[in-house]
Homo-oligomer: A and B are copies of this chain.
Amino acid sequence: MPKRSIGKKKKLGVSVEKDKFSEWYTQTIIKADLVDYSPVSGCLIFKPMGYAIWEIIKDETDKRFKKLGIKNVYFPLFIPESLLKKEAAHLKGFSPEVAWVTEVGKTKLTEKLAIRPTSETIMYSSYAKWIRSWRDLPLRLNQWNNVVRWEFRHPIPFLRTREFLWNEGHTVFASKEEALKEEKEIFGIYNEILRDYMAVSGFISKKTETEKFAGAEFTKAIECLLPNGRVVQGPDFHHDGQIFSKAFGIKFLNKNGKEEYAWQNTWAITTRMIGIMLAIHGDNKGLIIPPRVAPIQVVIVPIFFEKSKGKVLKKAKELEKKFNKFRVFLDSREEYTPGYKFNDWEMKGVPIRIELGPKDIEKNQVIVVRRDNGKKEIVKIKNLDKKTKEVLDDIHNVLLRRSKEMLKKGTMQVKSMNELIKGIKNKKMIISEWCGNKECEDWIKAKTGGVKIIGINESAKAKGKCVYCGKKAKYVVYIAKSY
């Protein structure tokens, strides 16, 4: 008999169902060994599995940036207070959350230094030095780094942390038209990463004046709906117009020898996206990690009695090596039963489990089990390569389809505040119409206890009345609780 599980004494698996989303989410993510809490409240430790997901996302995104001719750089972590103050709206937006270095060793600094909450100000003071003529444009730089925003609300792994990792692209163009063209390129990349790697279906919204980035002319974002009806902002794109170029003096001589202020964009994807992805795909058994970002795509669980151990482990190692074009892990731990391992890897969300016992070896077969639907299938080893590829692709497609359906089912069109409030109670994201008036935006928030206009659906045309004031509507908007 296989050894009895020593894990039985441990609390195995996830103890709450996904319906209780908040509890399910934090419990699963910690139990699945992706992250851990750190001694600094609100700052997360990315454990190997959590960080490996980020590495895959980063590499795929970075490759695409580079194809567009965008270059990576690294600017300092610190921003002198005087620089951060240069653009008023930007300062106002970020200063409540800034962590300040005021002393080094035993010496008080004469000017305190902000830990970058974002790098506009430190980068643009250099851009102003570097850019002289139209020949220096476009300047398209990016960095992958850590930033700190000292949230005072309750931290949530990935979704709300005080330090997070991201890319920040900061680009400069000679004309507004050129700058605006970049939006499509960048959202093209981010969309590809969400759709083709993370199997997440989001939607693009344009932020209201209230919600836009501090210092931007406009902000658009790919928004994602979580199972609890909350909307989270994914990757975003800010067109800054000439706001920063005027504050920082980023000027260039155009082809006619005249001096002009430059046009700027900035855009980002953050580690928050990992949380969104996990929240969308998991189930009562734990996480489901989409195959293309899964650090382990296939786990091999050998099943043996004492006398067949050598033979089974040998074959399992053979398979691990043979199929190394996939990310394969052989779980050869001897202190756990196969059953324990099945649960463990299901909770951790590995897309495919391969079971291999002595009888399978005799028949040149394995059992392939899918994480997304639990289906088991006997597969001849000679077909395993092809089958694995197919199943990984199929799991990806199933997850993406589910994500689309979840978004559709989680959305509700309403025409009145009553319906809106009811919809929110039922954990729906609301689509409605709005007059564009800030007062109505504020009232919606006030009447619902914090539900807000997530953003404008630019591809839809308003035909009716503002859900709050009843006057002619200007915009179709998304309304929801957010993080």
Contacts and interface: CB of A to CB of B under 8 A. Distances in A.
Contact of A45 (B46, B76, B95): B76
B38 A165 contact: no
Interface string A101-130: 111111000000101000000100110011
B100 A103 contact: yes
Contacts of A71: 48, 51-52
A78 B43 contact: yes
A47 B152 CA distance: 34
A150 interface: yes
Contacts of A95: 105
Contacts of A146: 77, 145-146
A325 to B, nearest CB: 16
A419 interface: no
A104 B41 CA distance: 13
A321 interface: no
A36 B75 CA distance: 10
A75 B146 CA distance: 11
Nearest to A130: B36
Copies of this polypeptide in the complex: 2
A265 B79 CA distance: 34
A148 B367 CA distance: 51
B48 A72 contact: yes
B113 A104 contact: no
Q: Which of A83, A150, A335 has its CB near the most chain B CB atoms (within 10 A)?
A: A150
A83 B39 contact: yes
A483 interface: no
A402 to B, nearest CB: 29
A19 interface: no
A80 interface: yes
Given A99-B101, A100-B101, A100-B102, A75 B126 contact: no
A141 interface: yes
Contacts of A40: 76, 78-80, 113, 122
Nearest to A42: B76
A97 interface: yes
Interface in A55-76: 55, 71-76
A217 interface: no
Contacts of A39: 80, 83, 122, 125
A77 B54 CA distance: 17
Contacts of A98: 104-105
A344 interface: no
A365 B184 CA distance: 41
A104 B145 contact: no
A139 to B, nearest CB: 10
Contacts of A73: 45-48, 51
Contacts of A46: 73-75
Q: Which of A43, A55, A73, A335 has its CB near the most chain B CB atoms (within 10 A)?
A: A73
A76 B39 CA distance: 9
Nearest to A100: B103
Interface in A81-99: 83, 95-99
A192 interface: no
A260 interface: no
B76 A163 contact: yes
Given A97-B104, A100-B102, A48 B141 contact: yes
Contact of A163 (B47, B72, B78, B79): B78
B74 A51 contact: yes
Nearest to A48: B71
A135 interface: yes
Contacts of A106: 96
- Shortest 9 CB-CB distances between A and B: which pairs? A43-B76, A48-B71, A46-B74, A104-B150, A96-B105, A40-B78, A102-B102, A99-B101, A99-B104
Interface of A: 36, 38-40, 43-48, 51-52, 54-55, 71-80, 83, 95-106, 113, 115, 122, 125-126, 129-130, 135, 141, 145-146, 148, 150, 152, 163, 165, 333, 335
29 contacts: A36-B126, A36-B129, A36-B130, A38-B76, A38-B122, A39-B80, A39-B122, A39-B125, A40-B78, A40-B113, A45-B126, A47-B73, A51-B73, A51-B74, A52-B72, A54-B74, A74-B165, A77-B146, A97-B105, A99-B113, A100-B101, A100-B102, A100-B103, A100-B104, A101-B101, A101-B102, A104-B150, A105-B150, A135-B335
